[in-house]
Chains A and B, each alone.
Chain A
Amino acid sequence: MHKRLQKNDVLFLSATALLLAAVLAAMLLFRGKSGKQVVITVDREVFGTYPLSQDNVVRIDTGTSVNELTIENGTAKMTEADCPDKLCMHQKAISRERETIVCLPNKIVVTVTGGGDSSLDAIVN
């Protein structure tokens, strides 16, 4: 380890950076359309499906834990949770297809699905 960065390292790090940039670009390019509803699953089972168009506060009572999902202005956010880490409450509000909020300790996953084509909606309306 005389030289801090050998030629191999420069190659490896550049290749990694390129690969990750491609992954990020793909993610932004294939970002989901705005979704219609959120599906809540608790420990592999569907807990319920709720439309994003309707403001709502969903109490996710699993029997051993309680979370609260607030649907407001077409976005969903975890606003209450009794998990120890509270990471779910710090995740950003979701509204586009495939966007997900997860509460690992309580095994809750909230995912946006059923994207309606927003431009088509605009025309219909």
Chain B
Amino acid sequence: MKRKTAYMGLFLALALICGYVEMLIPIPLGIPGVKLGLTNIVVLIMLYSIGVKEAFAISVLRILLSGFLFGNAFSILYSLSGGILSFAVMLLLKKSGRLGCISVSTAGGIFHNIGQLGMAVLIVGNTAVLYYCPVLLVSGALTGLLIGVLAQEIILRIGDRIRF
């Protein structure tokens, strides 16, 4: 139990740092919401080596904490919709047992941006925002692919050493 608490704290800190580093690397596409999705590395590692509940908890806690630290109510809503939709899709695909980490992460990246865009439409009450949809889908896929490759390498190397 003590070991588990320590691990959860460690992963939460790691996710927070990833989120912070990501804020320091702006992607100059001139489009709101384009991010690297670094925190998804932590979520993927947890999903594959620890468990669904733990991965979900870290992903939500990370969003709430960085929202309180660096953001506001809207940025929390916005991140949560992307984070939860992405998590649900990744979980479904992983559970299907037919696709590997890279595909799971790519789909997660795409649906992360779909979730955020959906929330953006709700917040501003204007579907004109959907103009950004094509570029957000592509950037979500590319960043998701990259993160999936990285996460898979980490999982293959140290995944079996992470045990509660």
Contact = CB atoms under 8 A, between A and B. Distances in A.
B35 to A, nearest CB: 11
A16 B141 contact: yes
Interface in B117-137: 120, 123-126, 128-129, 131-132, 134-135, 137
A24 B123 contact: no
A104 B74 contact: yes
A66 interface: no
Contact of A20 (B129, B132, B138): B138
Contacts of A84: 71-72
Nearest to A106: B124
B129 A100 contact: yes
Q: How large is the interface on B (under 10, 10 to 19, 20 to 34, 35 or more residues)?
A: 35 or more
Interface in A88-103: 88, 90-92, 98-100, 102
A48 to B, nearest CB: 15
Contact of B99 (A9, A44, A102): A9
A98 B103 contact: no
The prevalent SS among residues of B at the interface is helix
Given A105-B74, A107-B124, A8 B98 contact: yes
Contacts of B71: 84
Contacts of A108: 124
Interface in A44-93: 44, 84-85, 87-88, 90-92
Given A23-B137, A100-B131, A12 B103 contact: yes
The prevalent SS among residues of A at the interface is mixed
Contact of B31 (A5, A16, A91, A107): A91
B100 interface: yes
B145 interface: yes
Given A44-B126, A98-B131, A111-B128, A104 B78 contact: yes
Contacts of A99: 131
A6 B74 contact: no
Given A8-B100, A16-B107, 12 more contacts: A1-B155, A4-B100, A4-B156, A8-B103, A9-B102, A13-B106, A13-B145, A23-B138, A85-B75, A100-B131, A100-B132, A102-B132
